[in-house]
């Protein structure tokens, strides 16, 4: 179809518009930030601490909640049961609802008066106004990306391979770890990456649970609200560039891994 030059021009024009829609705001932000502003922002202790907290909290959410979500994805891919549609809808709900509402919902569960909040305080874990609350908020709004990607990955694994292994005497655990998980690995890794990325950008839920310590999205808002665009833009530019570098490297590594698999 694309060999027809008129169709090709239309596709090229629309593709260019979409790319421009994505690139233009980012390019404007980067170009309007001077070199001295980049250096000053990188030397700002508050900025560096917020970036470190943002990266680690999002990663912790992936490790703690994401890994535990993979079995749920497998169950959803392989089992039919009453209420399955409702569960799938509930899983997608954190993506749909306003994230300020998500923050309020989480606050009701981890506040100091709740059972979880009291148990956390007894164990020395502070959710409200603490890093633990940030991890929970980030994981809550981002975990649907992992569950959906992993479920699609498991659904793509031929069920007959699992049944054949079971018939040959392999245990369900062995089938899962040697057949199902490896064959769904690409989608699971994509889901883990998307979960981490979504956690990095979260603002609404986090700001309700913990305004301090500040993650970078909250710091960007705080500087914009208090001092204006010229103070917020350099922080936003540095953070976006860092995220761009991280995920470009991750995609390159994933591409190298796939090429290596193909070559073997």
- Note the pLDDT tens digit of each residue in 165-180: 999 999 999 999 999 9
Spatial CB neighbours of 131, under 8 Å, sequence gap ≥ 6? 53, 57, 210, 213
Residue 111, by phi and psi: left (phi above 0), alpha (psi -120 to 50) or beta? beta
Question: What is the overall mean pLDDT for the chain?
Answer: 91
Residue 106: closest CA among 128, 131, 125: 128
Nearest to 70 by CA among 144, 133, 147, 132: 147
Domains of the chain, CATH where assigned: 48-211 (1.10.3720.10)
Query: Which residue from 257, 231, 245, 218 is spatially nearest to 103, judged by alpha carbons?
Result: 218
Q: What is the pLDDT of residue 28?
A: 93
pLDDT tens digits along 97-134: 999 999 999 999 999 889 999 999 999 999 999 999 99
pLDDT at 120 (0 to 100): 93
Per-residue pLDDT of 198-250, as tens digits, reads 999 999 999 999 999 999 999 999 999 999 999 999 999 999 999 888 888 87
Q: Going by C-beta distance under 8 Å and a sequence separation of 6 or more, which residues neighbour residue 31?
A: none
């Amino acid at each position: 179809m694309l060999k027809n030059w008129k169709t090709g021009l239309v596709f090229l024009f629309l593709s260019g518009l979409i790319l421009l829609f994505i690139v233009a705001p980012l390019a404007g932000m980067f170009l309007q930030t001077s070199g001295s502003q980049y250096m000053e922002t990188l030397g700002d202790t508050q900025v560096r601490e917020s970036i470190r907290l943002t990266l680690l909290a999002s990663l912790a959410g992936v490790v703690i909640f994401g890994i535990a979500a993979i079995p749920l994805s497998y169950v959803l891919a392989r089992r039919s049961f009453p209420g399955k549609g409702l569960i799938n809808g509930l899983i997608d709900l954190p993506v749909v609802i306003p994230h300020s509402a998500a923050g309020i919902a989480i606050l009701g569960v981890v506040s100091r008066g709740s059972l979880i909040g009291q148990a956390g305080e007894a164990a020395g874990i502070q959710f409200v106004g603490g890093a633990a609350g940030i991890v929970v908020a980030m994981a809550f709004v981002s975990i649907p990306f992992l569950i959906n990607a992993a479920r699609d990955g498991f659904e793509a694994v031929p069920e007959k391979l699992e049944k054949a292994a079971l018939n040959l005497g392999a245990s369900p655990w062995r089938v899962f770890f040697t057949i199902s998980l490896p064959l769904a690995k690409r989608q699971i890794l994509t889901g883990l990456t998307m979960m981490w990325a979504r956690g990095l950008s979260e603002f609404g839920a986090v700001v309700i649970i913990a305004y301090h310590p500040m993650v970078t999205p909250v710091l960007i808002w705080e500087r914009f609200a208090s001092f204006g665009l010229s103070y917020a833009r350099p922080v936003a530019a540095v953070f976006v560039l860092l995220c761009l570098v991280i995920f470009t490297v991750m995609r390159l590594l994933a591409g190298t891994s796939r090429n290596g698999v193909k070559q073997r």
